[in-house]
Amino acid sequence: MKALRQSGTKRRKTLVDLLGGWAKLTLAAGIIAATLIPGMAQEPKPDPAGIVTGDRTTVIDAGGNAFVVTEPTDRNTPDYAQKKKDFDEFQSQAAKEPLAVKLADTVGHVRVATNFAWTLNTGYLVLVMQAGFALLTCGLVRKKNAGHLMMLNFAAYVFAFIAYYAVGYAFQFGAVAVNAAPTNLGGTPTLNHFLLGSGLWGFLGGKGFFMAGPAYDAGSNVYALFEVVFMETAGYIIVGSICERISFWSFLLCELFVGAILYPVFGCWVWGGGWLSQLGNTMGLGHGYVDFAGSTVVHAVGGFCAMALSVVLGPRLGKFGPDGKPRAFPAHNLVYVVIGTFILLFGWMGFNPGSTLGATDLRISVVAINTNLAAVSGSATAMLFWYMKFGKPDITMACNGMLAGLVAITAPCAFVGPASAFTIGILAGLVVCVGVLFNDNVTKIDDPCGAISVHGFCGVLGALCLGLFADGTYGAGWNGVGATSYLGHAGMGVTGLFYGDTRQFLVQVMGAGICAAWAFGATFIVFRTVNAVKSMRVSKEVEQEGLDVPEFGLLAYPEDAMHATSVS
Amino acid sequence: MKKIEAIIQPHKLDEVKAALIGIGVEGITICEVRGHGRQKGHTETYRGAEYNVDLLPKVKLDMFVKDSQAEQIIEVLSAAARSGKIGDGKIVVSSIDEIVRIRNGERGETAI
């Protein structure tokens, strides 16, 4: 993420500017790496009490300009004279007004505190989405598996959380301060080391295992809370595809895999300051790969992981007839489906606007309205599509359409205007309808809740739409690119193809493709192997009976079984 | 003595019950059943896949009546249960040999 990375990246960008050129970039990467290797330089200290985080250096005006002017270091830059003058002016003013500088420390602390409150509370909203997913997926399956679905959803939160706590967070954000410091939250300066790669080519974070040591820090813990619930979303998505046939033990393995490896690795590349986010600096590709709140980082990772698992498991018994024709297994509770969808919509109001990591970024209102617009246009499209094609609108597809719009707007929500958001929702509504029919009739991949179409296909669509519709009004200096001007305009932010930046679209295509390939490929290899050692499916008899009793000893609706048991 | 069985649309139950009590039917037994007739139900689609709704919910009534009442009951029951559309159901009349009231052992028409 996200906007707050800007000023962190600006500092490094200055260095890049100074050096310029390819050969010197490599040198710069080396220097940065050298200064960041633990032990070689003085390490920043974590702030578990939260009393040091936020001071005069975190006072930043609406335009992103810092209150404290730092001393320019390289005399060879063309604007050195101007920068030195600004610095001297600040120094003399600070000397004249020491009280103002002291006050700025408090202002900076309050600014960070405001952003803490925003980020934590939007994180809690995202947490509520887990309840939405549980209701949605449970409602969409057959009654005999309802208890099993609820247990999968519940265990997903618990086990994926543990995996993310142990290693996932460190893999994803262990080097976030190198290229993408969340300055709105104080910058988390202690998370500064790549385990694999360095500088602009980071592949895996390497600090903060078990959220201890450098990650035992107030700013880092806000970030951890917000990010862990995002990871949980990816962890929940897979339930929608693998349910009604997966055994509990193998599901736990899937969740540990998602929380520890699959999600954090791609997350590091895009949000942790990793190589995909830096392609603007290294290869001149727009602002690097941009995904504001996770169309790909969260949803496509979950969706394509779900697809791979569904392929490994095979379809549910009887899903496809002898002639290959798909059969309907109608949802057992449409009330759950609709309530679950609305809870998800509500949670998304944390997911997207919260991804600014700060209420001091007033773009949050645009993000919120864009998110809602895509939700309604996606749902309307899916309803009308089904109405015209099958004569009746399908309630479950109307809900899938809303989620499709939400997934697709998640990446571009901060960079587009309302009209584009509405259009993106329409595209997502079409993609999800075609995707569900395509999986049922062409690929024959059984996807009981439509997770592959909603999260996988529409996640990729979201990343591409950012590359098309981003209008340049927001995101100046994103990923360390174009801090002063972009495409010849001062203050120009992330820009898509329709607004003049072809390279941004190219890098979006590339990043989304890599996301799908990584999520599908890694999952497929790992779980194809697991499945070869021991089948991940329950037995045929268990699947026919329903998984509730064989796996957990009780039906979701036990009165259904009373005729078969002694109740006197 | 006759036994009259009728299979009707569930939503017609209240009207039929009221009409039968109105002409002096003493007792009715009903149960909820599922079935189909000549149309064999119909098909619906769920997320694009077709499925058959071939066993539709119906209500089945049983009553025991005197021979003299049978014709009137058939008439009243048909009128009350009729919507004129496919799926209105059937009435079956059969003769019965004996009726016994379990409480006091009464037999024949007095046991109705």
CA distance, residue A487 to nearest chain B CA (Å): 46
Q: What is the pLDDT of residue A568?
A: 42
Cα–Cα–Cα angle for A185, A191, A193, nearest 5°?
150
Choose among A537, A442, A449: nearest CA to A241: A449
Cα–Cα–Cα angle for A405, A409, A411, nearest 5°?
145
Show the tokens assigned to A290: 């941009």
Interface test with B, best of A241, A320, A327 (most B CBs within 10 A): A327
**What are phi and psi for residue B4, nearest 5 degrees?**
-110, 120
In whole angstroms, give the CA distance from residue B89 to residue B60. Answer: 9
Helix-helix angle A395-410:A364-390, to 10 degrees: 150
Q: Do B47 and A327 touch (CB under 8 A)?
A: no
In whole angstroms, give the CA distance from residue A495 to residue A506. Answer: 12
Q: Do A450 and B47 touch (CB under 8 A)?
A: yes
Chain B positions touching A397 (Cβ under 8 A) are: 47
Q: Do B46 and A328 touch (CB under 8 A)?
A: yes
Q: Is A352 helix (H, G, I), strand (E, B) or coil?
A: coil
Distances (CA, A) of A475 to A149, A412, B10, B42: 40, 11, 62, 55
Chain B positions touching A437 (Cβ under 8 A) are: 48
**In this complex, which of A325, A394, A437 lies closest to B46 when CB atoms are compared?**
A394
Show the tokens assigned to A106: 């408090």
Cis peptide bond prior to A2, omega within 30° of 0: yes
Q: What is the pLDDT of residue A6?
A: 45
CA distance, residue B46 to nearest chain A CA (Å): 6
Q: Following CA atoms A62, A63, A66, A70 in sequence, which dihedral angle do they give, to the nearest 10 degrees? A: 180
Interface residues of chain A, partner chain B, Cβ below 8 Å: 325-331, 390, 392, 394, 396-397, 436-437, 440-441, 450
Q: Do B48 and A329 touch (CB under 8 A)?
A: no
Chain A positions touching B49 (Cβ under 8 A) are: 325-328, 440
Choose among B73, B60, B91, B84: nearest CA to B20: B73
CA distance, residue A394 to nearest chain B CA (Å): 7
CA distance, residue A336 to nearest chain B CA (Å): 17
10 Å CB burial of residue A222 (0-12, 13-18, 19+) is: buried
Q: Give A208's contacts (C-beta < 8 A, 6+ positions apart).
A: A169, A170, A173, A174, A190, A191, A214, A215, A220
**In this complex, which of B44, B47, B50 lies closest to A436 when CB atoms are compared?**
B47
10 Å CB burial of residue A112 (0-12, 13-18, 19+) is: buried
CA distance, residue A521 to nearest chain B CA (Å): 28
DSSP string, B50-86: EEEE-SEEEEEEEEEE-GGGHHHHHHHHHHHH--SST
Residue of A nearest to B52 (CA): A328
Q: What is the pLDDT of residue A563?
A: 52
Q: Do A392 and B45 touch (CB under 8 A)?
A: yes
Distances (CA, A) of B25 to A27, B12, B73: 101, 17, 8
Contact between A290 and A508 under an 8 Å Cβ cutoff? The reply is yes
Neighbours of B14 (CB within 10 A): 10
**In this complex, which of A328, A392, A450 lies closest to B49 when CB atoms are compared?**
A328
SS3 content of chain B, % helix, strand, coil (to 5): 30, 40, 35
Q: What is the pLDDT of residue A228?
A: 97
Chain B positions touching A329 (Cβ under 8 A) are: 46
Q: Following CA atoms A463, A468, A472, A478 in sequence, which dihedral angle do they give, to the nearest 10 degrees? A: 30
Residue with tokens 């700013």: A219
Chain A positions touching B44 (Cβ under 8 A) are: 328
Contact between A450 and A400 under an 8 Å Cβ cutoff? The reply is yes
Q: What is the pLDDT of residue A14?
A: 43
- Exposure of A5 in the CB half-sphere (CA atoms within 13 A): 31
CA distance, residue B81 to nearest chain A CA (Å): 29
**Tens-place pLDDT, residues B35-71:** 988 888 788 889 988 888 888 999 999 999 999 999 9
Contact between A196 and A51 under an 8 Å Cβ cutoff? The reply is no
Distances (CA, A) of A390 to A328, A397, A481, B4, B46: 14, 12, 48, 42, 10
Q: Do B51 and A390 touch (CB under 8 A)?
A: no
Q: Do A396 and B46 touch (CB under 8 A)?
A: yes
Choose among A146, A123, A117, A212: nearest CA to A174: A212
**What are phi and psi for residue A203, nearest 5 degrees?**
-120, -20
CA distance, residue A524 to nearest chain B CA (Å): 27
Q: Which residues of chain A have pLDDT under 50?
A: 2-21, 23-25, 27-28, 30-31, 33-36, 38-39, 564-568
Q: Strand A201-205 and strand A194-198: pairing?
A: antiparallel
Residue of A nearest to B48 (CA): A437
Q: What is the pLDDT of residue A72?
A: 87
Choose among A507, A17, A515: nearest CA to A288: A507
10 Å CB burial of residue A122 (0-12, 13-18, 19+) is: buried
Start-to-end C-alpha separation, chain B: 9
10 Å CB burial of residue A491 (0-12, 13-18, 19+) is: middle
Put simply, the chain B residues between 9 and 68 with a CB less than 8 A from any chain A CB are 44-51
Chain B positions touching A327 (Cβ under 8 A) are: 49, 51
Q: Do B46 and A326 touch (CB under 8 A)?
A: no
- pLDDT > 90 in chain B, percent: 72
Chain A positions touching B43 (Cβ under 8 A) are: none
In whole angstroms, give the CA distance from residue A274 to residue B17. Answer: 75
In whole angstroms, give the CA distance from residue A508 to residue A458. Answer: 14
Residue of A nearest to B43 (CA): A328
Regarding predicted confidence, which is higher, A521 or B87?
A521
**Tens-place pLDDT, residues A238-292:** 999 999 999 999 999 999 999 999 999 999 999 999 999 999 999 999 999 999 9
Cα–Cα–Cα angle for A189, A186, A174, nearest 5°?
35
